[in-house]
Amino acid sequence: MEPANLSPEEQMKLRASVGKNVTPATLDSKLVFVFCGNGLTYHGMCKQLLEKESVFREKIAEISLCFQSLGSLNILKTLESETESSDFNNPDVIQPLLFVIQVGISTLLKHWGVKPDAVLGHSVGEVAAAHCSGLLSLEDAVKVIYFRSTLQRKVTGGMMLVVSNMPVSEVSSFLPPYAGKVCVAAFNSPHSCTLSGDASAIENLHEELSNSAIGPNLFLRLLDVPTAYHSHMMDPILSDIEKAIGSLHMNELNAELFSTVTGKEVQQGDFCTGEYWARNIREPVAFEQTMPLSFPRYQFDCSHRDVIIGAAQKNTQSDHPVLHQTGSGSNIFTCDLKSESSSYLTEHKYNGIPIIPGAFYAEVGLAAF
């Protein structure tokens, strides 16, 4: 029987294709999920996801119940609250919120068919990475984040400082006078690190770096954190971390997992003992050493060239914050990346150059039409 609704030519091609070996298309590129550390959470985050994405909301509710078996924090209620609580920025609140959002978004992406080939986490982000790789069960991951965060709340004092646009080896040359008081808390890239330690020592070092010969070219940012993570300030709680977490069950991986404690792919015992998680809060984050794939290194253009966009459909005066028509009758627009009218461009600068996502170009292109 010939297939219905096909022309003789189409029927002939169909018969000719029967029995042919078909090789599925493959991609050489791999997808990596990177779970961030502290500093990116804010009141009101993820409200739209909670309202519109049932998969995300169900995962958040599941984790919230799991947390309540250990403590009083109601994660779902906190995320949906219209007012910010006074303890919102405490470690035992902000770290569980970060964890639950990371796991929720990862679950939603996987539901949509977006699955990572490899995962890694920066500092506290390692907890979500260990779970989303399949290594730790949700219950064990919640146990880790609960004790990690509640014990860290007991520690106060100290400061942290991000130093960028300077080789980390050169930053280290400033540290000998601050021995025992300041250390490198995170190796973020070859030209970016985070320092941590005693508040007075960090303030003095910040001033010294600012006044150095290359000070005007440095990116220096004092972090708004309650204590100096990954420094000697963590020493009093290390044994408590080890005892409280104890031994965890290792499950089969569904993605490659890399450790920013060891700087290597996961080894036997990594992520599954209290000793490992004590190292996670005390030792420097070896993020730069851990990157599993060869990521591109970006060079930021310091020129003052405008982005020129041709608009083919209509010529209307734009009220866009950075997009400007070159003339009343022209279909050429300029995009001023040096503009101070956009808070995003003002706040996301590296050495005076605004860092913008690729979606920015699509947005201004659409705005020009």
Q: What is the DSSP string of 193-225?
A: EEEEE-HHHHHHHHHHHHTSTTGGG-EEEE---
| More confident position, 193 or 360 | 193
pLDDT, greater one: 6 or 177:
177
The answer to whether 18 touches 279, Cβ cutoff 8 Å, is no
Tell me the chain's radius of gyration from C-alpha atoms.
25
Asked if residue 325 lies in contact with residue 153, where contact means CB atoms within 8 angstroms, the answer is no
Which domains, ranges and CATH numbers included, belong to the chain? 32-154+232-290 (3.40.366.10), 159-222 (3.30.70.250), 307-367 (no CATH)
Coil vs helix vs strand at 159: strand
Spatial separation of the C-alpha atoms in residues 281 and 230, rounded to whole Å: 5
pLDDT over threshold 90, residue 155: yes
Contact criterion met (CB below 8 Å) for 257 and 135: yes
Q: How many helices (H) and strands (E) does the chain have?
A: 14, 12
Provide the Cα torsion 297, 299, 305, 307; round to 10°.
10
* 48 or 341, higher pLDDT: 48
**Own/partner long-range contacts of 135-138 (Cβ < 8 Å, ≥24 apart):** 135/250, 135/251, 135/253, 135/257, 135/266, 135/271, 135/272, 136/248, 136/249, 136/250, 136/251, 136/271, 136/272, 137/249, 137/251, 138/62, 138/63, 138/66, 138/103
The tokens describing 172, both together, are 């280290």
Q: At 302, is the pLDDT very low, low, confident or very high (cuts 50, 70, 90)?
A: very low
- Which of the listed ranges 11-25, 204-218, 339-353 does the model predict with the highest average pLDDT? 204-218
Residue 328 pLDDT level (bands cut at 50, 70, 90): low
**Residue 24: pLDDT over 70:** no
Residue with tokens 């000793």: 275
- Quick check: helix, strand or coil at residue 17? helix
Whether 197 shows a pLDDT value over 90: the answer reads yes
- 209-218, 238-247, 350-359: least confident range: 350-359
pLDDT in tens, 271-295: 999 999 999 999 999 998 887 554 4
Report pLDDT for 307: 42
Task: Indicate the residue type of 200.
Answer: S
Phi, psi of 45 (to 5 degrees): -65, 145
**Max CA pair span of the chain:** 88
* For the chain, percent of residues with pLDDT exceeding 90: 59
Per-residue pLDDT band for 315 (boundaries 50, 70, 90) equals: very low
Rounded Cα gap, residues 31 and 115, in angstroms: 7
- Which ranges of 35-176 would DSSP assign to H, the alpha helix? 47-52, 54-68, 75-80, 91-111, 125-132, 138-152, 168-172
Confidence of residue 209 (pLDDT cuts 50, 70, 90): very high
What is the overall mean pLDDT for the chain?
Answer: 84
Weakest mean pLDDT among 92-101, 225-234, 287-296: 287-296
pLDDT digits (tens, 9 = 90+) for 117-147: 999 999 999 999 999 999 999 999 999 999 9
Torsion (CA) 237, 239, 240, 243 in degrees, nearest 10? 160
216 pLDDT band (50/70/90 cuts)? confident
What is the per-residue pLDDT across 249-277, written as a single tens digit (0 to 9) for each? 999 999 999 999 999 999 999 999 999 99
Tell me the mean pLDDT in the region 24-35: 74
The pLDDT tens digits of the residues spanning 56-74 come to: 999 999 999 999 999 999 9
pLDDT over 50 (residue 314): no
Task: Name every residue whose Cβ is closer than 8 Å to that of residue 181 and which is 6 or more positions away in sequence.
Answer: 197, 198, 201
pTM: 0.74
